[in-house]
Structure 1
Amino acid sequence: MRRLRPLFALSFALAFPAWAAPPEASGEDLLGRTVFQVLIGELALREGAVDLSLQAWVDLAQRTRDPKVIARAAEIASYAGNNALALQLVRQWQAIEPDSVEARRVQITLLIQTRQLDALPELLTAQLASDNAADPEAFASSLLHLNRMFVRVPEKAAVLRLLDQVLPPYLGLPEAHFALAQGALAASDEQRALDEAGAALRLKPGWETAAVLQAKLLERRAPAQAIDFLKGFTKKYPAAQEARLALAQMLVAGKRLDEARGLYLQLARDFPEQPAVLYPAALLALQNDDRSTGQQLLEQLLQLPAIDKNNIHYLLGQIAQEAGQLETALEHFRQVNGGERLVPARARSAIILLNQNKREEALALLHATSGRTPAEKSQLFLAQAQLLREEGKEAAALDALLVGLKQLPDDVDLLYDAALTAERLGRYADMERHLRHLLSLQPEHAHALNALGYSLADRNLRLDEAGDLLLRASRLAPEDPFIMDSLGWLQYRQGKLNEALQTLRRAFQLKGDPEIAAHLGEVLWQLGQQDEARAVWQNALKRSPGNTTLQATVRKFQP
């Protein structure tokens, strides 16, 4: 753009040969000249010739000393990145219009952009006083957004010091304390932020925005205290939707899922058109095996406009598939037309088609699905393996996974599925190789640690190593019932029957899985509690009559 400057000077020299002459001597048409120069400036800006536009406007500003012209010149100078020139122009503007609120606003903005915070206190103090005098109610609201002015300033501690200089006259307003809380939080002074949020609440006790901020600050150091605080606040102010939603989210984060589920369901009744409420309420219901409630909430979500419905159709398809409503499931899966759920929806559709003896259609659906990303390609290989597994072709499923691993050798999901498939085929060396590769990539993969540890314990091999693996897995996921089951089975192999019984009871309480029932029953039997063992097995068989591990265990002790 620098090459445009000589052209600009030349063009104007040709157009106005008496450029420097006094108007009365040259007889120049000042209005026409000004209009033409404005057009040059704006047309140059539109064409991207910013330097040319800036020259035209700055020259015009110097000649006319018109505040509007100077303001436009300053705006273009700022746009061109010439903040020093923009500040110079704004100071000229203020010299002409000393009481101009707009000139002061522009100068404040430019000083912030150039990080000249030390020059701001007097100007910002005057601006705040002016805004407060003009409209006190709007001023209080604008304080909530005061920190947005400094969002790109990295020196957050300096911003907080500036706020401390300019806000004292307004500390009777809760919004001023909220602004200080935001500034303190940005400056990593969490205690100060907590104090200021508390001060805002004392001035305005029912203000849920301040309550939510205080709760989130409390959550960083004492999650249970934050939950108790919000419980008290929402009990006192039951209409506080934002606070109730924040409370529900904290309950989920704290794994207090029963409480979270109840609160989300109540929120769903109170706010039936809020996706932020309905979706987590549906997920928590499904997690609790309450499919009826989950389905109802997801169907409510489908009726709402302007939301991504791919996830909703996928989950409804899952519900229908598990209920044996295969045509309904297919209909939902077909409506998943993009996003991360597309490939899983196609995979589930293929499995349904296979179960309907439509093998060719199932294969065609998978072949027509192209994975664009490594993750989607991985899901397709996993789906193909699952399809073969459903046909009883376990070895072919492993071959499909190995083809996938040739393309994606470090894919964690493929490695994990290949390991479990290899174990079912009795190919334990391959299983261990895949799991150790996976753990080299993700040393804290709890399920891989559990799978390897359980396999060693189940085959009564290297029990000390199995214990190390399972303890690592347990530390990563202490409430996982399947990891508890593995630990209990290891304790059984080590001859620690009473410890094994205690661990397996806890696992079975968390998850009534048939394989956990098989292990629990075996330990009970060995401890001489055969009647309870039979009861555990019989109840599990009623729920899962086709589970081969459970069947084998029962036959072992009751031929």
Structure 2
Amino acid sequence: MLMSARIEEDGMRPRSLFFFMAAILLAAGALAGCQSAPSTDRPASDDLLAQAPAITEGLDARGLTALLEAEFAGQRGDFTRAARGYLSQGERYRSPELARRAALAARLASDDELLNRSALLWSRLSPAAEEPRQLLAEQAAAHGMWQQALTQLLAIDARNARAELETFVQEAAAAGANIPALIEQLKAHAETYPGRPNALIAMALLQAETEDFRAADRTLERVAGRFAEHPSLWLARSQIAMERHRFREGLEAAQYGHRLAPDDNRFLLAMAQAHLALGQPDRAERQFDRLLTRMPESSELRLSLAQLYLNHHAEAQAERLLAPLVARKDPPAEALLLAAMTAERQARIDRAVSLYSRVPPGNRFLGARARAAGLLVDHQRFEDALTLLDRARSRYPESNADLLELELSLLDSAGQHQRADRLLDRAITTSAPDNDALLFMRAVRALESGSLSAMERDMTTLLERNPDDATVLNAYGYTLLERTDRYREALQMIRHAHRLEPDNPAILDSLGWAWFRLDRHEKATHWLNRAWQAQPDEEIGAHLIEALWLADQPVRARRMLDGMLERFSPHPRLDRLLQRYPGLQSPTPSTPDAEKTDS
């Protein structure tokens, strides 16, 4: 199970980044004799179903028909139908090969429920098989069920197969898993299978994750007592030493591990990491060159190595490493971002702006343009920042509204509100008169400036174009609740929005608040509680507390307030609520009101 790529200004913690990169090496099959960890990438359909042998014996007419339909569905690319067909016949004939074909087809269909059912059947019919357990572990981890995922991997480890427990626990810890519970699982497994050291090594890594380094040392000493020459022991020792800033010790452990397993690329990585920490970038570069020679086509490895260089302020080496990626006709967004960060650190502002401006459309697009504009503003080049965003709007019309919003924010931050309003008016009347996103943006700006009539004019136009726009209905209705006494009119809009999107937390909150404004406090608490269950944020919680208080349920209101005061920091909405209702503050046990219960 590989961690998704993370490219950040401040980088990852050294050990987290190391294990992310180690997972890249594992997935690429770069470790001699090791089975790679389960991958979250969807394999190509040309390979997957072809791997599973055809089932041609013991079939009656119904079974043969069902399998032919599944096979034809797979060939047409209807992998969901293929998976269902294979699964039904796998259950009927108790065939692990059919269950396997079902799992492979379900994976191609990206159908998690079908994949889970197929893998469970495959695992039951073929208890010794590792692949279905890997699939089940991958599925459990994807849904944050880390203990279930570990159970599957430990079953693989129990059969003397490599389960990549060390990589798994690092991913789980980074995702916020329950570390003590995972440690207990690993401890029990190690006691049951004393001949398998990887559970103890993984346990030590988790103990180090909680900074219980003494416990981690004791655990690794247990491993060393029987498995002193086990390479994973020395890899863990190296990384835990690095976490404790014992860089020389980390280097020596990595060097010893490399002598034990010269084909294990993770030790090259560990040695390079230690050299960087020791201020020896030239020595680190030699190790990185060896890695890149072994894996010349891995862009992901090159990006991760560059991130490691940046973490240790080796900008020149990072730039050299990124150069081949940046020079491509269609460079990866992550390469452009890292190269731009490198240029920023070198105070090469024009170079950084140019690189940020090349980031292609996608989830990094807007952030890169915002950073480029921000850099120009920071260097007193305000008009250049506006020009950059204006040109981006012309080049990427599909992102016009988002880029315009950045431009408006820039003008507002400089106090040029009238210029921002004129820019938006011009965009609506000339370049995009039918752009609902821009009209909605102007309505919101009008409200913020205190012009309710201008806001209503644009909202009315939007609803004339699309009477079933739930977002507009909710925003308009909620505004009427907050700025006018037209509560019944607001309620009708919000109820219409609710019919369109019955599970939308924002709409549920507005619906509850409408009933609150109409003094129907019991009804308000019903809808606000539903909104809170769907999205427990401070605004919804403050609404619910106020409704509970006025519905004469002080105990529930105070209990919820106490919990939210601990949960949110800062909590401006709760502070304002307490100013309006000082009695909400929980009374001391000695006061009579402390014993009062909800009616």
Structure with the higher helix share, 1 or 2: 1
TM-score band w.r.t. shorter chain: 0.3 to 0.5
Higher relative contact order (CA 8 A, sep 6+): 2
